[in-house]
Amino acid sequence: MHQELIEGICSLLGWHKRVRWKKTETSWKIVGRNRKAYRELEGSDDVVGARKEFTEGIEKLAGNTPGDRQRKT
């Protein structure tokens, strides 16, 4: 029973890393893996502005997923 629990936890940790990586890849695809391109979006039209907002949301999700780090309480 104890071994099964350990294996399950390890499996979840691996799943979490894959989900985080997928979110990061999606964000890169939107901005073209380029921070300069991301900054250039600031002065663009509404369609690109909406894309920038979506990208920021993805980055927030990728950076703030539960379990990434322990918070001080």
Tell me what pLDDT residue 17 has.
78
What does pLDDT average to in each consecutive run of 10 residues of the chain (73 residues)? 70 76 78 61 57 69 57 53
> pTM of the entire structure?
0.32
Domain extent, residue 55, equals 15-62
Q: For residue 39, is it within any domain?
A: yes
Tell me what pLDDT residue 42 has.
55
User: What does the block give as tokens for 51?
Assistant: 């894309």
Three-class SS state of 31:
helix
Tell me what pLDDT residue 28 has.
74
User: What total number of domains does the chain contain?
Assistant: 1
Tell me what pLDDT residue 73 has.
52
Q: For residue 8, is it within any domain?
A: no
Residue in this structure with the two tokens 């990061």, named with its chain if needed = 24
3-state secondary structure 55-67: HHHHHHHHHCCCC
User: What does the block give as tokens for 66?
Assistant: 């539960």
